[in-house]
């Protein structure tokens, strides 16, 4: 019987702790519900096309997560990529490739709700590119010829990390248009069997590593984006 007050006190403390935790969870759930109620449900999803990306077919999907935050996911198909040419010039080459983009946007307008108005935020992108055969224009000679040189097909992986600023306009009830720009950095890894020196001569970017079959470069990644979308 002497232990009953101690047990009662222990039970009371546990009950109070659980009650406080439940109250905190309930308050957080209430705040989350209030935030979700402030999302514009008529425009919280947007499908976009980006027509000004040369050598690339680029589509994206933007989803509003809170009244002023959204996430955008993009998918690209590449058919042209530039390599170095004479001097400061570049030359477009035929390729096949895919690209993925992921970004988070913070909308700052007090008069408009996301996804409209001024926004800023980080973007991450990745691309994998397969170049056309004999992209280095080596002479087409038989293996027995003294000038014959075997170089494998050129593959390229690239990773970008950048920060973007822009504005998204509402056109009518559901259509949108967006203009944005960004600046960041890009790392490229290019591989071609027995072609390290040719890659180094032709790839765009500052070379930080090279060997017989691979080159790693870094460089700035300025970006300008225009899109037309449909929100719903």
Q: Per residue of the chain (232 residues), give pLDDT as tens.
A: 445 666 566 566 666 565 555 555 565 556 556 656 678 888 999 999 999 999 999 999 999 999 899 999 999 999 999 999 877 889 999 999 999 999 999 999 988 889 999 999 999 999 999 999 999 999 988 888 888 999 999 999 999 999 999 999 999 899 999 999 999 999 999 999 999 999 999 999 999 999 999 999 999 999 999 999 999 9
Give the number of C-alpha atoms closer than 13 A to the C-alpha of residue 90, restricted to the C-beta side. Answer: 9
Token readout for 2 is 């002497």
Q: Into how many domains does the chain fold? A: 2
Do 70 and 16 share a domain, yes or no? no
Question: 19 and 69 in one domain?
Answer: no
Which residues on adjacent β-strands are paired with residue 184?
162
Closest CA to 138 of 60, 192, 211: 192
Q: pTM for the complete prediction?
A: 0.81
Question: For residue 70, what pLDDT is reported?
Answer: 97
Q: Are 78 and 95 in contact, with CB atoms under 8 Å apart?
A: yes
Task: Report the pLDDT value the prediction gives residue 82, as an integer from 0 to 100.
Answer: 94
Determine the 3-state secondary structure of 9 from DSSP: helix
Question: The tokens of 208 are what?
Answer: 């930080």
Distance from C-alpha of 210 to C-alpha of 218, rounded to nearest angstrom: 12
Residues 205, 118 within the same domain: yes
Structural domain containing residue 25: 12-40
Q: Do 30 and 82 belong to one domain?
A: no
Q: CA 200, CA 19: separation in Å to the nearest integer?
A: 66
Confidence (pLDDT) at 1? 45
83: left (phi over 0), alpha (psi -120 to 50) or beta: beta
Kindly state whether residues 22 and 89 are assigned to the same domain.
no
Q: Contact 162/185 with Cβ under 8 angstroms? A: yes
Say whether both 59 and 21 belong to one domain.
no
pLDDT score for 8: 62
Q: What is the pLDDT of residue 229?
A: 97
| Cα separation, 178 vs 169, whole angstroms | 6
Examine the domain organization and report whether 118 and 31 are in the same domain: no
3-state class (DSSP) for residue 21: helix
Predicted confidence at residue 89, as pLDDT, reads: 86
Identify the three-state secondary structure at position 28: helix
């Amino acid at each position: 019987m002497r232990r009953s007050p101690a047990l009662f006190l222990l039970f009371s403390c546990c009950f109070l702790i659980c009650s406080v935790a439940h109250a905190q969870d309930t308050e957080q759930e209430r705040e989350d519900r209030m935030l979700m109620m402030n999302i514009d449900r008529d425009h919280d999803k947007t499908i976009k096309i980006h027509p000004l990306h040369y050598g690339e077919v680029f589509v994206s999907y933007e989803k509003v997560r809170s009244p002023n935050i959204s996430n955008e996911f993009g998918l690209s198909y590449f058919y042209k990529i530039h390599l170095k040419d004479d001097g400061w010039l570049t030359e477009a080459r035929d390729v096949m490739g895919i690209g993925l983009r992921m970004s988070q946007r913070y909308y700052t307008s007090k008069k408009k709700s996301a996804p409209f108005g001024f926004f800023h935020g980080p973007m991450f992108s990745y691309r994998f590119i397969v170049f056309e055969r004999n992209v280095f224009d080596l002479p087409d000679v038989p293996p027995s010829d003294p000038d014959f040189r075997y170089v494998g097909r050129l593959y390229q992986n690239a990773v970008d990390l950048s920060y973007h600023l822009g504005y998204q306009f509402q056109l009518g009830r559901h259509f949108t248009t967006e203009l944005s720009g960004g600046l960041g950095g890009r790392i490229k890894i290019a591989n071609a069997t027995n072609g390290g020196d040719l890659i180094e001569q032709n790839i765009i970017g500052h070379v930080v590593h090279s060997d017989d079959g691979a080159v790693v470069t870094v460089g700035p990644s300025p970006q300008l984006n225009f899109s037309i979308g449909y929100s719903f």
